[in-house]
Amino acid sequence: MDAIKEFCCQFGELGRLNGIVTIPANESKPDVAVILVTAGFTPKAGPFRLYTLVARESAKKGLVCLRFDLGGIGNSEQLDTGKPLSVRTKLDIDHAVKFLKNEYGIKKYVLGGLCSGAEDSFIYARHDPDVVGVFLIDGHAYITRGYRLRLIFSRKLVKKMGRVILSKLRLLPLIKHSNESSLEGDQSGLVDYKQLDIEDSTVILKSLLSREVKLLYIYTAGMSDKFNGAKQFNEMFPKIDSKNLITLKYLPRMGHVQIFEEDRKEICGAISNWLEGNFVYSG
Amino acid sequence: MSIYTNSPGREPERLSLKLPYDTQKTSSFSGYHKSIMQLHLDSSIHHFLSSQSREQVDVMLVSAFIALLYRYTGQKQIPISLLINRKSTRVINSSFFTNGELPFSKMCQEVLEVISGGTEQRASYNQVRVVIRGKNSNGETIDGGLIRTTPVAHKELHQPDLQLEINDIDSVSTYLVYNSNLFTSSTIERLTKHYNNLLVSILEAGASAPLAELNLFSPLENEWYRQTCNGGSWDPLSRPLHLDIEEHAVNQSDKLAVSDKLQSLTYQELNHKSNQLANFLIGNGVGPESRLIVCLEPSVHIAVTLLAILKAGAVYVPLNPSHPEYRIKTIINDTNPEMVITQSAILKKHDFGGNIRIVELDANKELAGQSNSNPNSTIEPDGTAYIYYTSGTTGMPKGSLGTYSNLNHYIRVSQDKYGFSKADIMPALASYTFSISMFELLSPLVAGGTLRILDLQHILDAKAMVGTLSEVTFVHAGPSLLKQLVKYINRNVDDYSMFSGLRHLSSGGDMVPPDLLRSLQLIFQTTELYVIYGCSEIACMGCTYEIDPVRPVEKTYVGRPFKNVSILLLDKDGNIVPIGVAGEVCIGGNGVASSYLNRPDLTEKKFFTLDGIKYYRTGDVGRLTAAGELELLGREDFQIQIHGMRVELGEVEYHLRQSPGVKDAVVVEKINGPVSNTLVAYYVKKDRYQIGAESLRQHMVQHVPDYMIPSFYVELDALPLNLNNKVDRKRLQNEDIKTSEPVEKPRTESQKALAALWSDLLHKKEVGLYDNFLAIGGDSLLAMEMISKVHETMGVQLDGLSILRESLHVLAGICDTQLGRVVSPDVSASGSLELNSVKPIKSYFFGPDSDLYGLLHLREGLKNDQAVLICPPIGGAYKRCYFLLKILGDQLADSGVPVMRFDYFGTNDSMGEDREATIERWVSDIEHSYEELQRQTGAQVKVLGIRMGALLALKALSKKQVEHWVLWDPVMDGETYYNDLANIMKIKVWRARTLRGLNKPTNNLGVEELVGITFSDLTLKKLRTLNFNSVELSEKTKLFQLLTTGAISNEERDKWSGFFDSNCNELEVNCGWSDSDSFSTAIIDKRILSALEEMLRNGCD
C-alpha cells in the first residue's frame, strides 16, 4: 500500500457526494485522472471491491483515481429528484470533475465503470471535451446476425455435448439452473438496467472517435444474451472507423461481476494496462 | 382515531324481511306493478274455518301466514303491518317473535293479543301487509280476479311488496297482492301452495305443533327435490388412480407427462421417479395412514411426490413453504407427520422439528439407488389419502381428511363430466396447498394428457398467461385471476381465435360474477365454459354449471350436482327450504371427507348423515331455481373468500387479539369496487400501550399466510355494538377507512404516476412514498393489473414480484431506469435545489494508521446522550444490507442518535487487501470504531451487530461498557458460517466450469476464497473456530435479537435455540444472506428497518 495514498472526499452541494481519491504516493502530479462511476445500486467500492482494486492499480500506474457514489447510491445524497436522472447523473459527474480539477489540478479525464456506470461514463464523455478515455465493462451490446449464428453453434451443439458429458459425470444438476449470466446469480438486482439504443450509442461513439477519445470495451459472459464473440463489436457498428482508438476485451470465461480473485485480477489488469498504455505518459 | 359510541339515541335499525324476491330489491328501486293471486285453500281448511268465529279465522290465517314467512325467511322477528277493516279501520305495526320450536298455538296467541290490543300507528313497514276485511268494510274488493278499486282509506300507506288479504264477504277468501316487478307469478303461486300445505299440516298436527315441524311441501314437490338435488348414481372405475398413470407409462412412455419452467418428464420418467420415491418411502416404513408433509416449490417434483405418496398408499399433506413459521409449526404439530418431503433451499428457511425425518428431494442420495419398478402396495379405499388445511375459527387451521375413495370420486367424476383425453394439456394454476390443485395435478395425468406446472411469476404475468391460454386445452382458474386476464385480453388482444385450441375453461373456488362469465362468453367463443362449486371437505366436485355460449348469465349459478353427489338446502331448523328461498348448502355423496383431523367437535358440527348419505354443511347460502339450478348467495357465517381462499375471520381476529397491547379486535371484509376483498382490522388497545399498524402487521405476518393479513388497521376507543349488544360489523363494513398513519407524499413524476395508479386500483385516497403494494390492500392478482396498467400508461414493464416486494419509492426508481433514466422535468413543488433536505454523511479514515473507512451520521444541534455503532457483516451480506444501514443511520441521526458505520480492514473502502485481513484485526477495528464514536459524540454507545459483525462485536466489546446490544441474525459459530459460504463457493466453482470449458478457476479456488473475499489460511482457520462460548456479558447488559428467519439454515437456528429467548423479535423475512442466486439483491424492508430502529431505541416489547 505504500505506493498509493487514499483520502476521503466530499463534494457537491453541502458535500453531499461521497468519494475516495487514490493517488500515487510518489508525489507525482499527474494531469489525467480516472473517475469510476458507480454501477446500479452498488456503492463505490464496486462489486466484490472491483472499483477499489482498479483505483489502487491506476494510482500505482501513476494516475489519480476518484471513486464516488452517485447521488442516492451508497453514502451520497440525492438532490433535486424532480430533474431527469440523466441530468442528475451528469450533474454528479460534473461535480466530480470540478473537484479533481480544483483539488488536484487535473486537466484530462478517463471515465469508466461497469454496466450502468459504463453507460453513464460513455454518455457523459460526449459532453465534456476534457474526457480522453472511456472504459466500459459490459456496456451496450446489440444482437447481430453473427451473434445468432454463433449462438446456434455454441448453445445447440457444443453445449449439448457438454451437458451430455456433464450428465455422465453427474455434474449436471449443479449447472442445470445456471447460464452464463447467472454465474453470480440474479443480476437484475434492485434496478433493472436499460442500455442505450443502438442509434444513440452510434451517434455518441462517432462523436467520441472524432475527438480521438480512446475506448476500452470489455465484455464478459454476463452479456452473453447480447454479446458472444470478439467479432461482434464490428458487426454492431459496421460503419464506424475505430481509428485504432477502440480496444476490445472479450472475457467469456467470467461473469458480469467477479466473485473469483483471478477474475478480478484479470479485469483489473486489463483496465490498468490500458490506462497505462494510453494515458500515463500522454500528458 | 375513529371513535364509536354506543349511544342509546341511535335510530334503531329497521328490520327487513328476506323475502324470496325474483328481482333484487335495491334502495333505488321504485317500480310498482300490482298483481293479485287468489289462494285456493283446501276444502278441509274451508270446512274447519267455517266452524270458527270470525276472529278465530283471522287469527289463524294471520298466524299461519306469519309461520309461513318464518319458514321462508328464518327470521326470528317478522315485521308486518296489519290493516283491519271492519267497523272501523285500524293499522297496527308489529314485529312477531318466532322460532322453530314455537308452537303454532303460541303464535296464534301473540297474534290475538296484537289484533285485540294493538294501538293504531302510522305504517312504517312496507314489505308485508295483512289486510283483514269484514262484511261492512269500505276498501277494495275483488271480483273474479279483476280489481275493482274503491278509494283507499289510508292513501299515505306505501304499497307493500306482498299483501295477504282475508275477506269474508260471503265466505272466507284469501288473496295475495304483490308487486310483480319483484316477484314472478310462479313464486307467488308456490307461496300460496305452501300456505295451503302449512294450514293443512296445522290441522293434521294440531295447534301445539312447533312451527319448524309444519309441512310445506306436497308429495309432488318432494319428488321434484329428490330428483333435482341428486346428480344421479354412477359406478366409476374403482381402481386406484396411480394405476392409470402406470399404464400410460407403458403405453405412451415417451409422451410428455409434466413440465415446469426448467424441466419436463415423460410418462416413463415420471413413473420411474415416483416409483423410486415410493419404494424409498415404503422401504422406510411408510404405508397406509403415514402422514407425509410435502413442502416444495412448484415444480415437477410436486407431481412426482404426489404420485409416489399415492403409490405408497400414504397420506399427502401439502404445506406452502411461503407460509409463516408459526402456521407451519401449527400444522406439523396437528399432523404429527412421519416425514417431511422438501428441498434443501426450503430446509434452510424452515425448521420442521428435530424428530421428524426429512427427505430432501434434491440432496437425498438414497433415492437414486431405489428401484424404479412399480411398487406393490395395497390401497384401502377408506384409508386417508390427503389432508388439506383451511382457515379455522379458533386460530387453528383445520385439516380435512379425504379418503382414497373420495379422491377416486374427485378425479373420476370430473373426468366423466368434462371428458379428459390424452390430447389435453392442463396448467396447474392453484397453489398446491389448495384442494382444487388435485384436480389440476391429477386430471391430465390420469387421462394420459400433459400437466404444465407454472410458477407464480408466470401466473402473475398476464401477457405470459395469455400465451399459455393459447397453448393449452383445459384450464381451471379462480374468478379473480380470470378477471385480471380478461382485462388484459380486452386491452391487448384483438383476435380471439388464438384461444381456439382451448376446449374447456372453468372457474370456481369463489363466487363467479355474472359479468365475468359474460366476458368469458365473448372471448372464448369456441370453449366450453363451466362453473365448478365445491370445497376440500367434499373433494371439490360438488356442483357444476355449464354456461350457455350465447345466453347472458344473470346470476351466480353453480348449477347441478355431479354424479354421486346430493345437495340439500336447509334452514336453521334443518328443513329443506322452498325453491327460491335461501338455505345453507349441504353437500353429500362420495366426495365427502371422513372428518377433520383432531377436531371431533367440529366434525360432529359440520358433518351429518341423512338417509344413508353423509353430508357436509358448507356454510354457503344458496337457493334453488325452479329449473333446478343452485344459485350461490354468500356465507351464513364469518367465513369469507379471498380470491378463492377460505378465510375464517375468527382466525384472523384470534391472532390479532394475541398481538401485544391489543385488548379487543374485529376484522371485517370490505367490498370496494374491483378490490373485491380487503380485510380491515379494527382494534382497541390496552391502557398504556402504544401500538401502531406496522407492529400489528408484523405480528400478523408471523402468524398467518399473506392472504389473511389485514390491509388496514384502525384504532378505536371501543368496538361499536348493535341493538343486540353484539359487535356491529355491518356498521364497520360501511365505514370509510381512516387510519392515523402519516403518509410521505410521492414527489417525482414516476412516483406520482405510480401512486395515482395504486390509488385508483386500491381505492385509496392517498398512497405514500414508502407504501408497499401488498401492505396497503393489493395482492398478487391486483399486481397483475398493476403491471398491465403501468405498461399501458408509462410504457414500463414491471415484474410481479417486484411490485409485491418493493415500496412505491423503489418501483418508481425501476420505472425511471427503464424509461431510459429519464424522468419528467421538475415537478416538485419546490423546484429548486432542496438543500435543506440534504444531510451529508461525514466520511473519513480513522484508526491508529488512518486506514479504516468510517461514516458518521451526525446532525448538528441534535446531539444526544446515546449513539449507535453499527458493526456490519462481511462479504455479500454487507452488500445486501448496505442501503438499509445507510437509511437506518439517517433515521436515527434525524432523531438525535448519532450513528457510526465503518468498513473492516481489507474490505470495501478501508485500506488493505482482503488477504491481509485477520480476525484479530477486525476485532480491533471494532474497538477502534467504538472509541472513535465515543470520541466524536461523548455518548453512551449502543451496538448493532449483523451476522459475523455481531459475533466479532461481542468479542471486541463485551468487556466495554456497552449495555444495549442489538444483534441481527448473528452468526453463532464460525464453522457453520464457513460451511454455508463454502457450499456456495463450491456451487460457484462448479458453475464457473461451464464458462471455463470444465476447467476449475485456477488460483486454489474454493480453498481460501469465500464468496468474493480471499482469506489467508490462518484467517480461515480462525474464522471457523469463532463462537459465542467465550463471550461474557455483565448482568447489566441488555441483549436484543432480530431474527429474519427466512434465510438462516436449520443448523444455524439450532445454535440459536435458547440463547436469546427472552429478547427476540422474529420476522419472517428472507434476507437471503447466503443465497447463491441473488447476490445483487439489496434488502429494503420497512419491517426490518422499523424493527431495528425500535430495538435500538427501546429494545423489544
Find chain B residues with C-beta within 8 A of A41's C-beta: 883, 1080, 1082
Are the Cβ atoms of B995 and A8 closer than 8 angstroms?
A: no
Return the SS3 of B385. Answer: strand
What is the rounded end-to-end Cα distance, in angstroms, of chain B?
Answer: 23
Task: For CA atoms B600, B601, B604, B607, give the dihedral sign.
Answer: negative
Pairing between strand B852-857 and B842-846? antiparallel
Partners of A121 on chain B (C-beta within 8 Å) are none
Selecting from A13, A166, A191 the residue whose C-beta is nearest the C-beta of B838 gives A13
Residues 6+ apart with CB under 8 A from A149: none
Contact B305, B361 (CB under 8 A): yes
Nearest CA in chain A to B1074: A185
Residue among A18, A40, A221 minimizing CB distance to B843? A18
Q: Quote the longest CA-to-CA distance of chain B.
A: 119
Domain boundaries, chain A: 4-279
Say if CB B629 and CB B557 are below 8 A apart: yes
CB B126 within 8 A of CB B91: no
A80 and B814 in contact by Cβ < 8 A? Answer: no
Q: Which residues pair with B869 in a beta bridge?
A: B900, B943
Diameter of chain A by CA atoms? 63
Quote the CA–CA distance of B2 and B86 in Å, as a whole number. 53
List the one residue out of B202, B193, B214, B195 whose CA is nearest residue B52: B202
Q: Which residues contact A161 (CB under 8 A, 6 or more apart)?
A: none
- The two domains B240-380 and B749-818 share their CATH topology (first three levels equal): no
What CATH topology corresponds to B639-734? GMP Synthetase; Chain A, domain 3 (3.30.300)
Q: What are the grid coordinates assigned to B86, written together?
A: 271492519
The structural domains of chain B, with segments of one domain joined by +, span 34-216, 240-380, 639-734, 749-818, 846-973+1028-1098
Determine the Cα–Cα distance for residues A245 and A216; give it in Å rounded to an integer: 8
DSSP B162: E
Q: Say which amino acid occupies A142.
A: Y
Of B362, B816, B911, the CB nearest to A1: B911
Rounded to whole angstroms, the Cα distance separating B709 from B394 reads 16
Strands annotated E in A197-244: 214-220
The pLDDT score that the predictor gives to residue B278 is 97
Residues 902-941 (B) with a CB less than 8 A from some CB of A: 903, 907-909, 911-912, 914
Selecting from A182, A254, A259 the residue whose C-beta is nearest the C-beta of B1012 gives A259
**Exposed e or buried b for every residue in B1068-1093, given b needs 16+ CB within 10 A?**
bbbbbbbbbebbbbbbbbbbbbbbbb
Q: State how far the Cα of A90 lies from the Cα of A213, in Å rounded to an integer.
A: 18
Look up residue B577 and give its three cell numbers.
Answer: 327450504
Q: pLDDT (tens digit, 9 = 90+) per residue, A12-50? A: 888 889 999 999 988 677 889 999 999 877 899 998 899
pLDDT at A241 over 80: yes
Alpha-helix residue ranges (DSSP H) falling in B313-388: 325-335, 344-349, 365-368
Q: Distance between CA B980 and CA A193 in Å, rounded? A: 30
Question: Which residues in chain B have their CB less than 8 angstroms from residue A252's CB?
Answer: 995
**DSSP-based three-state secondary structure for A150:** helix
Contact B586, B26 (CB under 8 A): no
Residues of chain B with pLDDT under 50: 1-13, 123, 135-157, 673-675, 740, 822-835, 1004-1007, 1101
CATH 1.10.1200.10 fits B749-818, yes or no: yes
Q: Could you give the CA distance from residue B138 to residue A180 in angstroms, rounded to a whole number?
A: 96
Contacts of B882 in chain A (CB under 8 A): 43, 74
Strands (E), B701-772: 712-715
Q: How far apart are CA B1050 and CA B350, in angstroms?
A: 7
Beta strand B384-390 with B398-403 is: antiparallel
**Gyration radius of chain A over CA positions:** 19
pLDDT at A182 over 50: no
Q: Give the dihedral of Cα atoms B505, B511, B517, B519; nearest 10 deg.
A: -100
CATH fold for domain B846-973+1028-1098: Rossmann fold (3.40.50)
3-state DSSP assignment of residue B41: coil
* Interface pTM, i.e. ipTM: 0.89
| Whether B385 contacts B315, CB under 8 Å | yes
- Surface of B (964-993) touching A: CB under 8 A: 987-988, 990-993
How far A32 CA sits from the closest chain B CA (Å)?
Answer: 22
Distances A115 to A36, A52, B710 between C-alpha atoms, Å: 12, 16, 41
Residue A217 has pLDDT above 70, yes or no: yes
Judged by a CB distance cut-off of 8 A, whether residue B261 touches chain A is: no
C-alpha cell at B393: 375459527
Q: pLDDT at residue A77 above 60?
A: yes
pLDDT at B1053: 65
Any bridge partners for residue A218, and if so which?
A137, A249
Q: Does B828 touch chain A (CB under 8 A)?
A: yes
Q: Any CB–CB contact under 8 A between B1079 and chain A? A: yes
What per-residue confidence (pLDDT) applies to B2? 37
Residue B297 near residue B260 (C-beta atoms within 8 A): no
| B565/B616 Cα distance (integer angstroms) | 11
CATH code, B34-216: 3.30.559.30
User: Cα distance from B320 to chain A (closest Cα, Å)?
Assistant: 22
CA dihedral B488, B492, B496, B501 (to 10 degrees): -60
Closest CA in chain B for residue A87: B822
Going by C-beta distance under 8 Å and a sequence separation of 6 or more, which residues neighbour residue B267? B245, B248, B249, B252, B253, B254, B255, B257, B448
Contact at CB, B1009 and A193, closer than 8 angstroms: no
Report the C-alpha gap between B752 and B745 in whole angstroms: 8
Whole-angstrom Cα distance, residue B389 to residue A24? 67
The third-level CATH classification (topology) of the domain covering B240-380 is Rossmann fold (3.40.50)
What percent helix, strand, coil does chain A show, rounded to 5?
A: 40, 20, 40
Task: Please name the fold of domain A4-279.
Answer: Rossmann fold (3.40.50)
Which of B818, B825, B909 is facing A45, going by the closest CB pair? B909
Question: How many beta-carbon contacts under 8 Å exist across A and B?
Answer: 196
Residue whose C-alpha cell reads 417525482 in the numeric block: B748
> Running DSSP on this structure, what letter comes out for residue B158?
P
Strand, coil or helix: B50? helix
Q: Count of alpha carbons within 13 Å of B301, Cβ hemisphere only?
A: 16
Is B824's Cβ below 8 Å from some Cβ in A? yes
- Which H helix or E strand runs over B159? none
Here the cell at position B146 is 279483476
Q: What predicted TM-score, i.e. pTM, was given to this entire model? A: 0.56
Cα B1094 to chain centroid distance, Å, stands at 30
Q: What span, in angstroms and rounded, lies between the C-alpha atoms of A145 and B805? A: 38
Element (H, E) at B292: strand B291-295
Q: What is the CA angle B647-B310-B389, rounded to 5?
A: 10
Distance CA A267, CA A264 (A): 5
Chain A residues near residue B996 by CB distance under 8 angstroms = 253
| Percent of chain A residues past pLDDT 70, beyond the cut | 81
Cβ atoms B269, B445 nearer than 8 A: no
Q: Would you call A261 and B1009 a contact, using CB atoms and an 8 Å cutoff? A: yes
All three cell numbers of A44, joined, read 463505490
Residues of chain A in contact with residue B988, where contact means CB-CB under 8 angstroms, are 183-184, 259-260
Q: Distance from A252 to chain B by nearest Cα, in Å?
A: 7
Rounded to a whole number of angstroms, the distance from the CA of B825 to the nearest CA of chain A is 5
Spatial separation of the C-alpha atoms in residues B496 and B467, rounded to whole Å = 12
Alpha helices by DSSP H, B1006-1080: 1017-1025, 1050-1056
Q: Tell which of B264, B894, B909, B989 to mutate to test the A interface (max A CBs under 10 Å).
A: B909
What's the pLDDT tens digit per position in B49-85?
Answer: 888 888 888 899 999 999 999 999 988 888 888 888 7
Neighbours of A31 (CB within 10 A): 15
Burial B880-889 (b: 16+ CB within 10 A, else e): bbbbbbbebb
pLDDT, residue B844, reads: 93
Q: Which residues pair with A219 in a beta bridge?
A: A250
Give chain A positions within 8 Å (CB) of B842. Answer: 10
Compute the distance between CA of residue B698 and CA of residue B1089 in angstroms, rounded to an integer: 12
**Nearest Cα to Cα of residue B567 among B226, B74, B219, B218:** B226
A220 and A254 in contact (C-beta within 8 Å)? yes
Reading the block at residue B944, the C-alpha cell is 448493532
Question: What local confidence, expressed as pLDDT, does residue A165 receive?
Answer: 62
CA B609 to chain centre: 30
| Closest CA–CA distance from residue B339 to any residue of chain A (Å) | 24
Q: Which amino acid is at B822?
A: V
